[in-house]
């Protein structure tokens, strides 16, 4: 699902990029990054987080987003970074070979996608064995999910238990998780 102009202004801001970098820097100490070279970022927006990863960690990053306008801005904004490539693609049908990536990132994307399980299946398919999935997004409380389910059809409605359960069934181990924003829904960062 594409974002509106107001949301694009927010996610394309330097402040938003810095917040995502802080999440990465908080999570990466839990990982062994040796051998992490090929990375996929789902819902990359204009690619600022990927640019940071390529410059700071020497990673080659493939950026995908369903919104062609975001990809066009990213290509113009990040011209000259030969470790980045951009494509307009849907996370529910990734055009990559099985086991193509060492790491997959999904930052504040999954709640935009009603078929979130399909996205996780695709993530699992394109990750190499022992690959790393870095997830940061909103999870609804069970109460709110129950209230919204009859009405909300275009967004991903899932609880933390739904998400962790699905990852576990796919044999993706949760190395670390953090919770914040304990209000209507929770923001979770998961490795």
Residue 39 phi/psi, 5° resolution? -125, 145
Distance CA 131, CA 129 (A): 5
Residue 9 pLDDT = 76
Looking only at the bridges linking them, the beta strands covering 38-42 and 60-65 are parallel
Q: Would you mind telling me the total number of residues written for the chain in this entry? A: 191
H helices present in 36-130, as ranges? 48-57, 68-77, 116-126
Query: Looking at residue 65, what is its pLDDT?
Result: 95
Domain span holding position 171:
5-190
37 burial type by CB count under 10 A (0-12 exposed, 13-18 middle, 19+ buried):
middle
What are the 10-residue block averages of pLDDT along the chain, 191 residues in total? Answer: 72 85 91 94 94 96 95 90 95 97 94 93 94 89 89 87 90 79 52 53
Number of structural domains (the chain) is 1
Question: What CATH number did the domain enclosing 166 receive?
Answer: 3.40.50.150
In the numeric block, which tokens belong to residue 56?
Answer: 């700071």
In angstroms, the first-to-last Cα distance of the chain is: 24
Q: Judge whether 156 and 146 are in contact, CB under 8 Å.
A: no
pLDDT recorded at residue 189: 58
């Amino acid at each position: 699902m594409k974002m509106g102009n107001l949301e694009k202004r927010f996610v394309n801001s330097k402040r938003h990029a810095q917040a995502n970098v802080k999440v990465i820097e908080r999570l990466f100490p839990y990982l062994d990054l040796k051998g992490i070279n090929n990375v996929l970022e789902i819902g990359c927006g204009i690619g600022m987080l990927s640019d940071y990863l390529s410059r700071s960690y020497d990673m080659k990053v493939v950026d995908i987003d369903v919104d062609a306008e975001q990809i066009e801005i990213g290509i113009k904004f990040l011209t000259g970074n030969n470790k980045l490539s951009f494509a307009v693609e849907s996370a529910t049908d990734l055009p990559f070979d099985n086991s193509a990536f060492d790491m997959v990132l999904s930052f504040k994307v999954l709640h935009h996608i009603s078929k979130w399980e399909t996205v996780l299946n695709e993530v699992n398919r394109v990750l190499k064995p022992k690959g790393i999935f870095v997830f940061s997004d909103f999870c609804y409380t069970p109460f709110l999910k129950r209230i919204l389910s009859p009405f909300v059809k275009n967004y991903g409605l899932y609880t933390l238990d739904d998400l962790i359960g699905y990852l576990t069934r796919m044999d993706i181990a949760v190395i670390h998780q953090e919770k914040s924003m304990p209000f209507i829904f929770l923001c979770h960062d998961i490795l």
